Every structure is written in C-alpha cells, then in structure tokens.
Structure 1
Amino acid sequence: MDSKTILIVDDEQTTRQGLQKTLEKWSGGKYDILSAADGPEAYELFNKNKIHLLISDVSMPEMDGLKLLSKIKENGYKPVVIIVSGYPDFNYAQEAIRLGVINYLLKPLSKQKLIEAVEHALKTEASLERTSYLEKVADDKLINVDTNHDHSNSAIKEAIDFINNNIEKPITLKEVANTVHLNASYFSVLFKEHTRLTFSEFLTRKRLQIAKTLLLTTNLQIEEISFKVGYQTAKYFIKIFKDYEGVTPSKFRKISELEDAST
C-alpha cells in the first residue's frame, strides 16, 4: 500500500518545523510529512501530491486555513483535515465544522495531543477510503445473496462456494448441479428461488465484481484479468463488462484513478 502523506501548513516557521519534527519522529518513516508556509504554497503541493491529511493553521496572511480548505474542496481534493488555532473562535470553529474538519486544536499543542489527533484522523481517512473502494466494487444484488448465504439451502451454499473457488475456470450450470448432486433443471429453479438471480446472472455478477477489484488494486492487463475471472477472450469480457457497468474495463480503471488522484 502506498505511504500516506501529511501536509502541515503554518506561517510560523518555528511552529511548522516543530510539528513536522514531532510527526517525523512519531511516524518513523511510515508517512511522508510535507510542510508549507502559507495557503498558496500548500495549494501547489495539493496539485503535485495526493494529500491524505491536512493540518493547517487558521490565521495566515493572503489565504487563511479556512479559505485554503474551501479552495481545495472546490477543486475536488478531499483530505481529512485538522485545523489549528492560536485562540478559540466560535465562528472559525463553526465554519470549520461546515467544511468537514474533523478536529479543531488550540495552540500551544502538546506532542501527545497532536499525535492522538493525527492517529484518529488517519483512522478516519482509512475508513473513508475503504468506503469509497467498496462503493466502486459493490453489487447490491450480490450483497443480498451474501447476506442471506448463511441461511440458504445447503445445496445452494455449496454451489456458491464452488463458484467462488473456481471462478477462473469455465463453469456451467450442469457442472455445478452435478457437484451438489441435483438435477440441472431443479437446481436452476432452486438457485433462483434462494438468490433471486438466475445462475447465469449470479455467475456474471460475481466475475465482474472480482474483475473490478483487480482493476482497482492491480496493474494487470485487461486480458490477464479476463482470464482470471473465467472469460476465454478479452473481447467478450469487455463486452459483458460494458453491458453491466456502462463503461469498458479500461475506462472504469481510468475514472477510478482520476477520482483517487483528486481525493
């Protein structure tokens, strides 16, 4: 997994360097810690790097912390944010909450309080990232099947397990029916009754869900992915993928990469 990047923005050099030193020592190289002296410099860093966590002072010349946050959100960047202020201000805090800031810390910051806030923020960021990923690969109809899997007919459970374990191979309804010792016609009716999907649709949706995962998490070529999910030709895989998802596998991957780059 790629290293997370934390950006510290503060026009006070001593404070900025102190925060950076504290976090570099705490992270032990696990995270990339960047810093900027003002809003414009910070915004330039957003254009060049994927920032996962922003720690910004509120009061800065030219572009204060809240204006910076507003600008990056307008341009599609979605880091988790901690705002730091030298004095309590209800209006600042209220606006920070509106902009989605997850913590509002007051100076002077103790090392322990800073680290606790950063750890909490990174857990939040990871949770949001997982949610975004799941939304991209989720299939509501398969979720319903998986939810009811434990309560399903034993033959259907066995059939689904067989499909999951042999997804890279050509699979036929008759083959699976034989595996669970049922007549093919009866198995077909039973499968739809328990899953609300035909055998063919379930198999296709399962293959495409795994394909989407591979598109998002690997650099495998489209042809390699098609073979891994049981399609004998990339051309047919691309056709089926587009029929279900509305875009080709390559387009799906590209759109997801652009979305990730802007978050």
Structure 2
Amino acid sequence: MKTILIVDDEPRTREGVRKTLEAWSSGKHRIEMAASGVEALQWLQREIAHLVITDIRMPEIGGLELIERLQDVKNPPVIIVISGYSEFDYARKALQHGVVDYLLKPLDKRKLVAAVESALAKGERQQQIERMERLVDPKLLEAAQQEKIYSVQVQEALEYVDGSLHEPVSLKEVAEALHLNSSYFSVLFKDQTGITFSEYLTRRRVQRAKELLAGTSLSVAEISERVGYQTAKYFVKVFRDHESVSPSQYRQGVTDTNEHI
C-alpha cells in the first residue's frame, strides 16, 4: 500500500484533495494530511510517503523549501505541487527540484487523479532503477556492453566463467580449455576487458551472490557455495571488500527498498 501525503495550510483544499483521492483509491492507498511544511517534515521523520502533494505558498516552511528538504530524505517521494498562483517562476523552480507535476487551483479532480497516477508510476520506475543499480556491477555492465567487439577467445572465456561460478575456476584452467598459453590469455583478457581475469571472476561471483541475496531465501552459507567459495567466512570477507557491507546487510537493504515501493 503506497502512502500519499497532502500538505496544505488551507483546510478546504486539504480535505477536498483527501476526499477525491480516497474515492479514487478505494482503500488501495493510504492518504495522510499535514497542515504545514513543519508538520509534514515532522510526520516524515516517523513515516514514509511515496508521493507528496504540496501547496507552494505556506507559512513558516513554504512548498519550495519543503521540496528542497525532501531531497535529503531516505527514499525521497515523488512530488506534485498545487498552487493558486500561476507565476511561471514558481513552476520553474519547483520543476528544477524534480517535481513531476504542477497543478493550479481550483483543482480539476480528473487532472488531479491523472497526475497522481502518473507520479506513482514514475516513483515505481525510479525504485526499480535504483534497485537494479544496486544489483549491477558497473564494471561488469561495461564489459557486457563491449562484448560484441571481443575476440572469440575472450567471449568463450566469459561464457566459461558464467557456466562455472559454482565451482573453483582458475586462469590456467580457462586458458587450457581455450587451448591458449596462460600468460598470453592473461594479457589478452585484460587488454580487451580492461580488468584482470581474477578481478572479473571475483566481480562476477559477487554479482551472482547479490542476485541470489535479493531474489532467494538461501542462507549466506548456501550462496557462498553456489558462487564457488570454499568457506562462508572467506565469501563474507570478499563480499564486504567489494560492497562495503556484509551479505546479510546487503540483503536487508534490498528488502527494505522493496518494502518501500
């Protein structure tokens, strides 16, 4: 259930938006309200909002200041601005801070609902992108994007590694499988991929471990075996060296992010 926070110092507008969205959502979304920017920030210290709909002109903390502060919130919400003022400067400043829509009072109910649906969809896409960024190793992604220009030997080496992540693999073993001299293969691999074979293998093992941590309930010990490590202790050390967190902490972080979608 996604949470929508309505922030407006005018009770009539605040209640009107709430009633419209509650009728639209039919209980599928949690609708909350705050009568000021100050109250909204206090609420956001305790709760998480997926979407914030805020007036631009409010006492103490106005909408623009609230929007700026929301950028520092963990899992920042998507934002829709509403206002009785049609000055372009307000809209321009709001859009510069990532606001997804700008609606003028008096609000058209159909436009409000359409804006909310669009904003929630954008929020989901952002969460999915952030989750994928946490899963994907940028160096492996770069290597994959360049794979078409690799020599046949390097392409076969990458395929060999991907098919053998669950067991011990060495540079010598791969070179022999490709009928190449180990030293020559080592230089060839680094020249074309930009990283050593050993670094690629480790990154690929960690990448697979991240996928298993995020997508399965396998224990850390079971995952360490599936990605070719003899002991869970050594696997945890390698994982922490690459991700700066333990496998368990990484799994918890990914789980928390999913819960907030």
TM-score, with length taken from structure 2: 0.77
Distance in 1, Cα, partners of 2:123 & 2:192? 37
**Among candidates 179, 186, 204, match of residue 182 of structure 1:** 179
Q: Aligned partners of 1:56 and 1:155: how far apart in 2?
A: 58
Q: Deviations over 1:199-235 (max 9, x none)?
A: 2221101112233444556665433432332222121
In the alignment, what sits opposite 1:242? 240
Q: Return the alpha-carbon distance in structure 2 between the equivalents of residues 165 and 108 of structure 1.
A: 61
Find the residue that maps to 2:103 and give its secondary structure.
Answer: strand
DSSP 3-state at the match of 1:108? coil
Which of 227, 230, 243 aligns to 2:228? It is: 230
Deviation at 1:97, TM superposition (A): 3.5
Q: Which moved more, 1:216-225 or 1:231-240?
A: 216-225
Decide whether the 8 Å contact of 1:238 with 1:249 is kept in 2: yes
Q: Cα–Cα, structure 1 residues 64 and 140, in superposed 2: closer, same or farther, change >3 Å?
A: closer
* Aligned partners of 1:83 and 1:105 also within 8 Å: yes
SS at match of 1:104: strand
Change (3 A) 1:53 1:104: same
Q: How does 1:101-250 map to 2 (within 5 A)?
A: 101-177=99-175, 181-183=178-180, 185=182, 187-215=185-213, 221-250=219-248
Matched residues in 2 for 1:198 and 1:77: separation?
Answer: 36
Letter of the structure 2 residue corresponding to residue 9 of structure 1: V
Match of 2:56 among 55, 58, 62: 58
**Which residue identity lines up with residue 41 of structure 2 in the other structure?**
Y
The aligned length equals 260
2:38–2:61 Cα contact (<8 Å) kept: yes
User: Counterpart of 1:92?
Assistant: 90
SS of residue paired to 1:81: strand
Give the CA deviation at 1:149. Answer: 1.4
Cα 1:150–1:112 change in 2 (3 A) is farther
Query: What is the deviation of 1:146?
Result: 0.2
SS in 2 for 1:114: helix
Gap change, CA 1:72 and 1:195, over 3 Å in 2: closer
% of aligned pairs identical? 45
CA gap 1:22/1:211 in 2 versus in 1, 3 angstroms = farther
Distance 2:219 2:27 in 1: 32
Aligned twin of 1:49: 47
Note the C-alpha offset of 1:169.
3.2
Change (3 A) 1:109 1:74: same
- Counterpart residue type for residue 156 of structure 1: V
Look up the SS of the partner of 2:33 in the other structure. strand
Judge conservation of contact 1:76–1:262 (CA < 8 Å) in 2.
Answer: no
Question: In structure 2, what is the Cα distance between the partners aligned to 1:113 and 1:208?
Answer: 46
Structure 1: unaligned runs, 5 residues or longer? none
Gaps of 5+ in 2: none
Q: Please give the secondary structure, in 1, of the residue aligned with 2:165.
A: coil
TM-score (norm 1): 0.76
Range moving further from structure 2, 99-108 or 67-76 = 67-76
Matched, 1:7 2:5: yes
| Deviation of the 1:55 alpha carbon | 0.7
Q: Judging changes above 3 Å, is the alpha-carbon distance between structure 1 residues 259 and 216 closer, same or farther for their aligned structure 2 residues?
A: same
- Cα displacement (A) at 1:148: 1.4
Q: Is the 8 A contact 1:78 1:262 kept in 2?
A: no
Aligned partners of 1:158 and 1:235: how far apart in 2?
Answer: 31
